[in-house]
């Protein structure tokens, strides 16, 4: 089975999470993932990953999405080697990791070009998968 992949360089500004959310949802829709609740969960995960990378990461922020059948991974790389951790929520933040954990099947952190890459495995999308949709790499580009 071949993989569908998309790579986006994210602008380092306050609008980055929204831009990334919209781009990932558009890519996933193009690949045949149609469940609205699943897409909403994916959008929140992307938003939290990008928000953390812009706020705490530094350097360039790169977003990568890949689908292997029903398995979808979303990852964000940034220039900081500091590993994200859960913290108590306050007026400024602290809810991101809890949201990611609630909306995904798991997450990991890997060293990446002097910084880190946070990889999140999304729950399987109900109804359809990229493999079932008939979408090819060329159709998704």
Whether 22 has a pLDDT exceeding 80, the answer reads yes
Domains, the chain, with CATH or none: 4-140 (3.30.565.10)
Encode burial over 113-131: b for 16+ CB neighbours within 10 A, e otherwise. eebbbbbbbbeebeebbbb
**What pLDDT is recorded for position 15?**
92
Of the listed ranges 25-34, 39-48, 54-63, 75-84, the one predicted with least confidence: 54-63
Q: pLDDT per residue over 78-130, tens digit each?
A: 999 988 877 776 676 667 888 999 999 999 999 999 999 999 999 999 986 45
* Mean residue pLDDT across the chain: 87
Q: CA-to-CA distance for 36 and 62, rounded, in angstroms? A: 25
- 82 phi and psi, to 5 degrees? -70, 125
Whether 21 has a pLDDT exceeding 90, the answer reads yes
């Amino acid at each position: 089975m071949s993989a569908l992949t998309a790579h986006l360089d994210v602008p380092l500004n306050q609008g980055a999470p929204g831009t990334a959310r919209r781009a990932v949802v558009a890519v996933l829709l193009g690949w045949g993932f149609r469940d609205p609740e699943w897409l909403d969960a994916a959008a929140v995960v992307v938003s939290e990953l990008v928000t953390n990378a812009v706020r705490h990461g530094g350097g360039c922020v790169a977003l990568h999405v890949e689908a292997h059948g029903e398995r979808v991974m979303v990852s964000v790389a940034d220039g900081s080697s500091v590993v994200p951790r859960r913290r108590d929520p306050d007026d400024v933040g602290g809810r991101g990791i809890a949201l990611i954990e609630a909306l995904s099947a798991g997450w990991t952190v890997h060293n990446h070009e002097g910084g880190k890459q946070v990889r999140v495995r999304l729950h399987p999308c109900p109804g359809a998968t990229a493999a079932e949709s008939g979408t090819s790499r060329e159709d998704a580009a």
